C-alpha cells in the first residue's frame, strides 16, 4: 500500500460523517497510470457514483478502497482508518460489502441461489438466528424467493446481479462498494436494483459507492465523480455538474438529414442523429435564441417539430470532454456503394418458435427490417433476443416458423447466410495480438477476398472507421471506442447488406459511442445497410428507426421510439418528477397513496400521471401529512427506459393475475 501522505482532499475538509476519504490517489500498472491524482470524499448515508467508460480507472480505485489492491501514491481512509497495509485493510473489511465487476463472478455456479447466500453468510459470520430473517427479506425484495433452488449458472444476467447483491449485503455492511452492478442487465432489473439499494440505505443507514458506464444512471446518485483516463473530470451533485456546461438541447426533424448534419457541424460540436430526429447541444441559454440559431445554421432546410429541453448529464459530460481536447464526432465516409430500394426487405421473421426441451424460448415472433433501416430488438435478460438472432443467422434451427435474411431462407441457406451478413458480437471478437491491418486482412481472407479486393476494402475500412494512424497499432492497446470501430470494420469487410449488432458499444466512452452511432447512421442512410441491434442502453435505442420489445419470447410492443412513447403517454400519462426534502419517506408514502409505479431517481421521485394537476395536489396532501416538504413537481418527457419498464411491469402484473386465477 502507499505510504502516509500529508495531502488533503481537494474536495475540502472532511465532514464528521465522512466514510471514505481519498486524496491524491495514484495507481500504476508498470509505467501506465490507471488512476492519476484522484480526490474523493463519500459521506454517510449517500449513494456516491463513479461514472466513466472502461479504462477510466473506476475498478482500480474501488478495489483500493475495498482493501484488495495496493496503490502507489496518495492516501485512502475508510471509516477513519488509513488503508495502507493488509493489516489495516482487515480492520475495515468486516464493515464493507464488495461486489466486483462481472455478471456473477463472485458467485459459485453449481450452488443454488439459497446455497450461495448461506455460504457468504457463514463466511461473514452472520448469526444463524438472524440469517433466516435477512435472507427472506432480501429474497423478497429482489423477487428471487421463487428461485431459491435454481443453480446460479441457470439464472439470467439480471438475476445473477441481484443474487450477487444479496450475497454482498447479507452481513449488513455499513459500506457497500458495487463495481458496475448494472452492466449487462436489462432496464427493469436495473430499476429494481436501484429501488433495493435506496430501501436499504433508508432502512439501515448504509452508504454505497457505485460505479457505472451507463451515463443515464448519473442522475440517480446523490453525488458523483466523472472519471476519464484516470482523472476526475467533474464532481458534485447532479445539479452542480449540470451547471458546469450551461446550455440547451434542441431536438427536431430536418430533411435531407445528412445535409442538415453537415451544416450544423460547422457551428456545433454536439450533433446527434436519433432515427429521424436530430439533437443539437447549444451554449445558448434562452429558448427562443437557441431555436433561431439552429434555424439560421440550416439555411434553406426547414426544421420541423422543434423542441427545447435542458441537456441530459451525458450531454454535459460530452461538452466537458470536448473542452478537455477530445475530438468531436466526425466521420469521413468513402464514396457510397449504390443503394438498392429502401422498400426491399433485408430481414423477415415469420412466426419463429424455438423450444429448449419443454421451455418455449421464442413464441411466434414476426417482424420485418427494410434495407437502410436500423431495427432495435429490446428485451429483458432471457426474453429471447439472442435466440432469435441465432436462428436468423443459421446457428440455431427453429422449432417452427420461417425466416429470410438478405434474400435467402434461413433453414436451407447454410453458408450462404454467413456470406451475406456481418455479425458483431457483444464479446470482443478480434485478435488482440495482431495489428489493426492484420485483423482486417485476416477477416478478408476468411471471407475469400482476393488481393485487390482486400486492398480496396482495407482502405475503405480505415477511412470509414476513422482508423488512419492506427494501422500498425496492436489491437490490444487500442482505446475501447477505436477497437469497436475496428470490429465493425471487420464485420463489414465483405460488404454485407445486413448487419447484426449485439450490445455493440458496451463500455465505450460517450464520445466514442456517438462516433460509432454516427458511422452506423451513415452506413444505413448512404450505403443502405440494414441493421438489427440489441442494446441495454435505452438512450442508444433512440437511434433506431423502429423498435420491437420482447417479453417471455414474444414481441409485445412495436413502433418507432416516438410512437412507443406516445402510446404509453396515452395509456399511463405523463412523467412527473417530484423533488422533496425526504425522498425515501416520500416514496413510501406515495406508494401507499396509490402511486404504484413510483420510483426513486437519486433524490427525486418519478411517477406516471394521467391527470398531472390533480395528482400533484393529491401527492402534496399525502406527503405533507407526514411532514415531507415538496420542493417542486415538474412534467418531464418520457424516456425509452420509462416505456420499457412500464410495458414489462404491466405484462408481469397480468401474468401474476393469470396465475392467481388459475390457482383459485
CB atoms within 10 A of CB 461: 25
CATH topology of domain 18-237: Rossmann fold (3.40.50)
> Three cell numbers at 446?
476468411
> Three cell numbers at 268?
456545433
Instruction: For the chain, list residues with pLDDT below 70.
Output: 1-16, 103, 326-343, 413-414, 426-428, 507
In this predicted structure, what is the pLDDT of residue 270?
Answer: 92
In this predicted structure, what is the pLDDT of residue 186?
Answer: 76
Q: Are 550 and 352 in contact (CB under 8 A)?
A: no
Q: Are strands 18-29 and 408-409 parallel, antiparallel or unpaired?
A: unpaired
Instruction: Assign residue 588 a region (left: φ > 0; alpha: ψ between -120 and 50; beta: otherwise).
Output: alpha
* 76/61 Cα distance (integer angstroms): 10
* 40/55 Cα distance (integer angstroms): 18
* 422/495 Cα distance (integer angstroms): 8
Record the pTM.
Answer: 0.82
* 528/573 Cα distance (integer angstroms): 37
Terminal alpha carbon distance of the chain:
62
> Three cell numbers at 616?
400533484
Strand partners, 235: 225
In this predicted structure, what is the pLDDT of residue 8?
Answer: 37
* Residue keyed to cell 476526475: 232
In this predicted structure, what is the pLDDT of residue 321?
Answer: 86
Q: Would 18-237 and 345-559 be classified into the same CATH topology?
A: yes
In this predicted structure, what is the pLDDT of residue 537?
Answer: 75
CATH topology of domain 246-310: Alpha-Beta Plaits (3.30.70)
> Three cell numbers at 152?
446460479
* 468/207 Cα distance (integer angstroms): 46
Q: Are 512 and 436 in contact (CB under 8 A)?
A: no
> Three cell numbers at 330?
466526425
Identify the CA nearest to 368 among candidates 352, 355, 349: 349
Pick the CATH number of 563-663 from 3.30.310, 2.60.40, 1.20.120, 3.30.70: 3.30.70
Q: Is the dihedral of CA 210, 215, 221, 224 positive or negative?
A: positive
In this predicted structure, what is the pLDDT of residue 103?
Answer: 67
* 532/373 Cα distance (integer angstroms): 9
Q: Are 192 and 142 in contact (CB under 8 A)?
A: yes
The C-alpha angle with vertex 518 and arms to 514 and 520, in degrees rounded to 5, equals 115
The domain spans of the chain are 18-237, 246-310, 345-559, 563-663
Identify the CA nearest to 37 among candidates 21, 25, 49: 25
Which are the contacts of 476, defined by CB distance < 8 A and separation ≥ 6? 432, 433
In a 3-state reduction of DSSP, which class is residue 547? strand
CATH topology of domain 345-559: Rossmann fold (3.40.50)
Amino acid at each position: 500500500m502507499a505510504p502516509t501522505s500529508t495531502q488533503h482532499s481537494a474536495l475540502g475538509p472532511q465532514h464528521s460523517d465522512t466514510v471514505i476519504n481519498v486524496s491524491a490517489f495514484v495507481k500504476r500498472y508498470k509505467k501506465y497510470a490507471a488512476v492519476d491524482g484522484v480526490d474523493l470524499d463519500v459521506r454517510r448515508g449517500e449513494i456516491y457514483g463513479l461514472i466513466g467508460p472502461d479504462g477510466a480507472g473506476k475498478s482500480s480505485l474501488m478495489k483500493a478502497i475495498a482493501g484488495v489492491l495496493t496503490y502507489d501514491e496518495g492516501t485512502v481512509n475508510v471509516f477513519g482508518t488509513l488503508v495502507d497495509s493488509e493489516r489495516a485493510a482487515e480492520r475495515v473489511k468486516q464493515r464493507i460489502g464488495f461486489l466486483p465487476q462481472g455478471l456473477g463472478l463472485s458467485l459459485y455456479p453449481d450452488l443454488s441461489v439459497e446455497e450461495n447466500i448461506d455460504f457468504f453468510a457463514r463466511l461473514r459470520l452472520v448469526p444463524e438466528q438472524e440469517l433466516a430473517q435477512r435472507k427472506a427479506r432480501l429474497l423478497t425484495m429482489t423477487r428471487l424467493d421463487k428461485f431459491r433452488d435454481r443453480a446460479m449458472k441457470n439464472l439470467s444476467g439480471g438475476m445473477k446481479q441481484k443474487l450477487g447483491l444479496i450475497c454482498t449485503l447479507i452481513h449488513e455492511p455499513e459500506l457497500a462498494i458495487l463495481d458496475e452492478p448494472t452492466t449487462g442487465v436489462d432496464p427493469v432489473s436495473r430499476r429494481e436494483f436501484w429501488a433495493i439499494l435506496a430501501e436499504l440505505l433508508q432502512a439501515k443507514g448504509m452508504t454505497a459507492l457505485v460505479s457505472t458506464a451507463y451515463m443515464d444512471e448519473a442522475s440517480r446518485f446523490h453525488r458523483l465523480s466523472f472519471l476519464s483516463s484516470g482523472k476526475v473530470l467533474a464532481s458534485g451533485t447532479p445539479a452542480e455538474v449540470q451547471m458546469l456546461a450551461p446550455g440547451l438541447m434542441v431536438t427536431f426533424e430536418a430533411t435531407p438529414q445528412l445535409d442538415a448534419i453537415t451544416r450544423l457541424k460547422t457551428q456545433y460540436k454536439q450533433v446527434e442523429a436519433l432515427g429521424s430526429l436530430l439533437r443539437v447541444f447549444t451554449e445558448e441559454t434562452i429558448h427562443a435564441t437557441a431555436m433561431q440559431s439552429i434555424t439560421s445554421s440550416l439555411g434553406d432546410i426547414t426544421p420541423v417539430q422543434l423542441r427545447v429541453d435542458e441537456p441530459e448529464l451525458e450531454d454535459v459530460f460530452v461538452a466537458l470532454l470536448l473542452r478537455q481536447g477530445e475530438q468531436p464526432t466526425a466521420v469521413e465516409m468513402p464514396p457510397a456503394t449504390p443503394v438498392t430500394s429502401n422498400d426491399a426487405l433485408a430481414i423477415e421473421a415469420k412466426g419463429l418458435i424455438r423450444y429448449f426441451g419443454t421451455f418455449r424460448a421464442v413464441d411466434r415472433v414476426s417482424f420485418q427490417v427494410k434495407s437502410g433501416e436500423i431495427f432495435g430488438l429490446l428485451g429483458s435478460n432471457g426474453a429471447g433476443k439472442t435466440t432469435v438472432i441465432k436462428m436468423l443467422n443459421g446457428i440455431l434451427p427453429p422449432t417452427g416458423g420461417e425466416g429470410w435474411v438478405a434474400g435467402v431462407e434461413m433453414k436451407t441457406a447454410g453458408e450462404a447466410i454467413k456470406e451475406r451478413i456481418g455479425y458483431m458480437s457483444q464479446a470482443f471478437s478480434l485478435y488482440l495480438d495482431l495489428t489493426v491491418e492484420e485483423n482486417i486482412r485476416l477477416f478478408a481472407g476468411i471471407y475469400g477476398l482476393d488481393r485487390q479486393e482486400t486492398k480496396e476494402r482495407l482502405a475503405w475500412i480505415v477511412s470509414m472507421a476513422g482508423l488512419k494512424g492506427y494501422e500498425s497499432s496492436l489491437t490490444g492497446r487500442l482505446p475501447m471506442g477505436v477497437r469497436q470501430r475496428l470490429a465493425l470494420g471487420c464485420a463489414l469487410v465483405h460488404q454485407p447488406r445486413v448487419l447484426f449488432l449485439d450490445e455493440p458499444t458496451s463500455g465505450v466512452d460517450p464520445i466514442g459511442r456517438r462516433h460509432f452511432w454516427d458511422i452506423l447512421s451513415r452506413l444505413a442512410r448512404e450505403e443502405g445497410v440494414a441493421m438489427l441491434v440489441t442494446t441495454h442502453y435505452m438512450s442508444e435505442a433512440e437511434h433506431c428507426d423502429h423498435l420491437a420489445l420482447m417479453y417471455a419470447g414474444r414481441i409485445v410492443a412495436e413502433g418507432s421510439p416516438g410512437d412507443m412513447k406516445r402510446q404509453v403517454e396515452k395509456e399511463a400519462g405523463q412523467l412527473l418528477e417530484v423533488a422533496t426534502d425526504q425522498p425515501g419517506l416520500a416514496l413510501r408514502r406515495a406508494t401507499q397513496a396509490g402511486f404504484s409505479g413510483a420510483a426513486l431517481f437519486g433524490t427525486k421521485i418519478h411517477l406516471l400521471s394521467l391527470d398531472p394537476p390533480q395528482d400533484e395536489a393529491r401527492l402534496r396532501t399525502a406527503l405533507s401529512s407526514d411532514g415531507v416538504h415538496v420542493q417542486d413537481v415538474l412534467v418531464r418527457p418520457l424516456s425509452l427506459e420509462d416505456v420499457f419498464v412500464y410495458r414489462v411491469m404491466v405484462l408481469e402484473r397480468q401474468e401474476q393475475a393469470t396465475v392467481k386465477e388459475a390457482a383459485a
